Amino acid sequence: MLLNQITNLNWISVLLAFVIYFILGALWFTLFFKKQYAISLGKENQLPKKPAPIFIIGPAICSLVITIASAILIYALNINTTSAAIEFALVVGVGFLVANTINIAINPNMPRPIYYGIISGSYHLVGIFIVSIILVSMK
């Protein structure tokens, strides 16, 4: 039932939503919240280094997977209005993305897990709102 939706997806909307989600992440962590992100990682006194490819490719793949999964659910649940897209984004964003981000951050290697969770979780929440609205509006 769910995977059958893959053939119904508007792949242009999936690609557009993915690109915007990925670019938002790049801006979020390197421009908008660069200092706060470094503090959350305990690296506020370190000079920034050129990121290894995994730190670019990994988030891109994850953003693409999240976007495709969201599109499949939006089509399977027959979400067709902006208000329903916002409701979907709220449920998925808070229920999965933010909760999972905070859960992953709560470990002994993260010096400020709640702060990290707020910064990264809010990126995913804003991102899924944008993704959901794009996917529904271009359905």
- Would the pTM of this model clear 0.85, i.e. be above it? yes
pLDDT band of 46, cuts 50, 70, 90: confident
Phi and psi at 42, nearest 5°, equal 75, 25
pLDDT, one tens digit per residue, over 55-113 is 999 999 999 999 999 999 999 999 999 999 999 999 999 999 999 999 999 999 999 99
Query: Residue 9: what pLDDT?
Result: 98
| pLDDT of res. 51 | 87
Q: Which long-range contacts (CB under 8 A, 24 or more apart) does 36-40 make?
A: 36/115, 36/119, 37/116, 37/119, 37/120, 39/112, 39/115, 40/110, 40/111, 40/112, 40/115, 40/116, 40/119, 40/120
Per-residue pLDDT of 2-41, as tens digits, reads 899 999 999 999 999 999 999 999 999 999 999 999 999 9
- Other beta carbons within 10 Å of 31: 8
**Residues 65 and 128 sit within 8 Å (Cβ to Cβ):** no
> What is Dmax (Cα atoms) for the chain?
51
Measure the CA–CA gap between 139 and 43, rounded to whole angstroms: 42
* pLDDT at position 87: 98
Residue 48 has pLDDT above 80, yes or no: no
- In whole angstroms, give the CA distance from residue 132 to residue 139: 10
Cα gap 130→26, rounded to integer Å = 15
Token pair, residue 119, equals 């910064």
